[in-house]
Amino acid sequence: MLELDFPVNPPRPLKDANEVAAVQSALGASPVEILHANTTVAVFETESQVAELKPNFAAVAKLKEPWVAVTAPADAGEFDFVSRFFVPTAGINEDPATGSSHTVLMPYWAGKFGKTELVGRQISNRGGTMYCKLVDDRVKIAGHVVEVMTGELTID
């Protein structure tokens, strides 16, 4: 397992009615809540709603905040919440496992569940499990990794 330590990035309600409508149109669905931080967050009621989304990626790319995390409480079992992360402006439509999106998702779900340690599951085709801890103004995100390269960086 590898643990990363990020600054917390709590989302706020998206109040611009035009942008809310654009997010709903791009996702082809109406989330129960739309928030923003440095990314758009669309909250759904069920895991299956998140799993079944088929967004219009060209429309997602045109959003004011074109990185979109969609999320819902997990159905049951070992996970507290699920998510997917759409980033067509980064050259991929859906990122399979995104630590940085959990800096936004963790404070949201911690507030909803009243817990500072949660397990999130990114339900992309490849998927990934994030073991998250909220510690003061930091989010610690751990997960299993496959080492593909090692190296050393020297800065003069």
The 10s digit of each residue's pLDDT in 91-133 is: 999 998 888 899 999 999 999 999 999 999 999 988 899 999 9
Which region holds residue 57: left if phi is over 0, alpha if psi is between -120 and 50, else beta?
alpha
Look at residue 131 and tell me if it is in a domain.
yes
pLDDT of residue 147: 81
The residue segments making up the domain with residue 70 are 2-143
The CATH number of the domain where 47 resides is what? 3.10.310.10
Look at residue 62 and tell me if it is in a domain.
yes
Look at residue 154 and tell me if it is in a domain.
no
Contacts of 128 (CB under 8 A, 6+ apart): 96, 97, 98, 121, 122, 143
β-bridge pairing 117-122 and 81-86: parallel
Look at residue 116 and tell me if it is in a domain.
yes
Residue 28: pLDDT band by 50, 70, 90 thresholds? very high
β-bridge pairing 128-135 and 138-143: antiparallel
Distance CA 67, CA 94 (A): 10
Contacts of 135 (CB under 8 A, 6+ apart): 116
E strand or H helix at 57: helix 57-61
Residue 140: pLDDT band by 50, 70, 90 thresholds? very high
**Total count of domains within the chain:** 1
Look at residue 107 and tell me if it is in a domain.
yes
β-bridge pairing 117-122 and 40-43: unpaired
Look at residue 80 and tell me if it is in a domain.
yes
The dihedral through the CA atoms of 6, 72, 142, 129 has a sign that is negative
Distance CA 141, CA 103 (A): 8
Collapsing DSSP states into helix, strand and coil, what is residue 147?
coil
Look at residue 153 and tell me if it is in a domain.
no
57, two tokens:
């990626």
Look at residue 148 and tell me if it is in a domain.
no
Beta bridge partners of 130: 120
pLDDT of residue 145: 83
pTM of the predicted protein model = 0.90
2-29: average pLDDT: 95
Distance CA 42, CA 129 (A): 19
